[in-house]
Amino acid sequence: MKMHNFGKVKLHTEYGALGSKEDFLDRAIDALSVLKISNSYLESTLAKEDANQKTLTTFTMIKKSILKIEAFLDSAKHEEKHLSKNHNDVHSPENIKKRWFALSELTSMIIPKNCPPNIQISLPKNDFQLFGNFYKLVVVFSNLVENSIEAMKNNGVINIFAREGTDFIMIDLKDSGPGFPPESLKKVFSSLFTTKSGGNGLGLKVAKTIIETHGGTISVRNNPTTFSIKLPKN
């Protein structure tokens, strides 16, 4: 099998020519969709048959991994097509899967199933309506929460606050971790940047891409470590 070349040349596999990088990403996303549907079917079937909790938890972990891979692929596709320039186009691919949902619906999905006992997570007391791709935003906030838990070494506090502006919703995620080295703050959203041993440096880059395709912004500061996400109301 020939190796993939992600330049301007055509891509090839044992299945033949795949065309451009965009064609390759489209096919990869399609293949992942089949895997996602199959996993959901098996998960619902096992739930009806009273499968043990360990099995159901495993399927939940698989679902989260599928969502992350899907976000990685979408991020690459976004960069290829420069979709951020078209985020206000209601007919653009990024808007097709968007819907209205409550912030509380989003935050209910981001607490890890096996959250360490010494981690306290405080969710926003006020609720707002958001418009966007629900599952992609779950990936963003889940990734931020998981990063915070790891940075605090499974012992600390995460506070999530939300407030409403004239035409935006601001969401802050603060943790009691040590923060980033000052020289790293400007690089945290760059590809391949990571402070984790064994990390791939893709998580925060993907988060930034997803937020920007929603017409929003994401930033980080220290003392305390705070990720601020600004999303338009519509």
Residue 217 φ then ψ, to 5°: -135, 155
pLDDT at 50 over 70: no
Question: Tens of pLDDT along 187-198?
Answer: 888 765 555 544
Percent of the chain scored above 90 by pLDDT? 34
pLDDT at 34 over 60: yes
Least confident segment among 49-63, 102-116, 119-133, 138-152: 49-63
Mean pLDDT of 204-218: 90
Mean pLDDT of 95-106: 84
CB atoms within 10 A of CB 115: 15
pLDDT at 70 over 60: yes
Mean pLDDT of 123-131: 94
> Which pTM does this prediction carry?
0.62
Least confident segment among 85-99, 142-156, 179-193: 85-99
Can you give 156-223 as a three-state secondary structure string? EEEEEEEEECCCEEEEEEEECCCCCCHHHHHHCCCCCCCCCCCCCCCHHHHHHHHHHHCCCEEEEECC
